[in-house]
Structure 1
Amino acid sequence: MLIDSHVNLHAPQFDEDRDAVIARAREAGVGLMVEISDKLSTFEATHALAMAHDDIWCTVGAHPHEARDHTGLTADQLVELAGRDRVVGIGECGLDFHYDLSPRDIQADVFRRHIEAARRTGLPLVVHTREADAVMADILTEEQAKGPFRFLMHCYTSGPELAARAAELGAWFSVSGIATFKAAGDVRQAVRAMPPDRIIVETDCPYLAPVPYRGRRNEPAYVGHVLDALADIRGWTREEAEARTTDAFFRLFDRIPRPPETESAA
């Protein structure tokens, strides 16, 4: 079973053919998708997708781009929303110093509230980080010292130092279609160094379509190309890559019941 650990099916890019996109994913063998919350104003749409489809689950949180609009967000609010059926993670949250669409201090403050919610709920934290390696490493280290929480470095494209520190702190990592890009040698090098039992795959659709679809709208149906790239980078067979990433996924997103047919992947 293919799993897409990070989809944005609520995005307007899918407004014209969302049902068809979901159907194509199933036809391609995608048995499970995690629909990611990027801001509380669209959480109801995100949650509705999960409630309407047995193979879709969701998270709750606010992307760092949206932190400026979430200055009043509390861990209590996140914890309450995380108690809903089919919510399996906290985030997407984190730091993005490339676009700086929200002030950096506000990004950090809102990120720490997500961490508190992850710690209190026991749900995994979906972390976005871009050009913020030193600050991200400091926050993760400081917050783990306060109390443990599980976290996923989603669509990892940052440097080796942050990757090593995050791995020491117990991070999972997800690989996206960027790993298929010709110029992404640094990303492939990072993938080679990831803990082999803590790697999962994603599309981050509608963004970052893998080769041979690069430049088009991304879809969950394309996640198999990411899995193939991961297998090639790590020197695994396709079957081994699928087994390893399936096992890692269900250990991280442990609120999702694991289908019996995937148990042989353990």
Structure 2
Amino acid sequence: MSVLIVIPARYASTRYPGKPLVALTGASGQSKTLIQRSWEAAISVTGVDRVVVATDDDRIRTAAEGFGAEVVMTSEACRNGTERCAEAAARLESDYDIIVNLQGDAPLTPAWFIEDLVAGLRANDWAELATPVLRCEGAMLASLQEDRHHGRVGGTTAVFGTGNKALYFSKEVVPFTAKSYQPDEPTPVFHHVGVYAYRPDTLAAYPHWPTGPLEGLEGLEQLRFLENDRAVLCVEVDARGRQFWELNNPSDVSRLETMMAEMALA
């Protein structure tokens, strides 16, 4: 089954304008933009036929082509990364069996997250798309709770049922737990990793659905699938000791750089 990775990136982010071009300094002291680090994460994935950056901004296009990425220009009308992926896939001449959305703000996404995600979608015919979830240990749960306590929109959590079929995603920390956990203790909370693998027909249908009330309230694009009764598979992934975080706010830059230094990521 052929696999395409699309990295959607827009300059006019509401919370963090210009985010794809923010520089992150790795353990070696080398500085690279967020979009370049996301592209490097994508090309490290095995079993992928093509990687493209999808954007509507010439500044991002110039930067991406400068480090060797293939770029697909998309409309400014795209409301989120999934719509941008759908438009990019439609503009490409080739057909793919699975289309992966690796959002341009997740440069620490390990290759095996995406490999496990694709394998999960291949193995479950009932699923129309798949997305990874990572069981929080106490330290990560504390970080999520601290962000919410201070009014910051940090990571997203996921709740799923039998067969790992998604029930809900939220920027709140769900499910609620009153227990205190040790930093390395497993918790019942799962951090949603913002990567998606779609069946082509499901992705193509997505932009034609209206934004539902839950998507509008949470600002989470994947809720549109649930609101349209589409089956979403949550694939539990193993961090293998790797730290993971997305760049959601300016304060996350130092957090990501610290993680990169601790993991010796150049």
> When the two structures are superposed, what TM-score results if normalisation uses the length of structure 1?
0.27
Higher strand share: 2
Higher helix share: 1
* More relative contact order, 1 or 2 (CA 8 Å, 6+ apart): 2
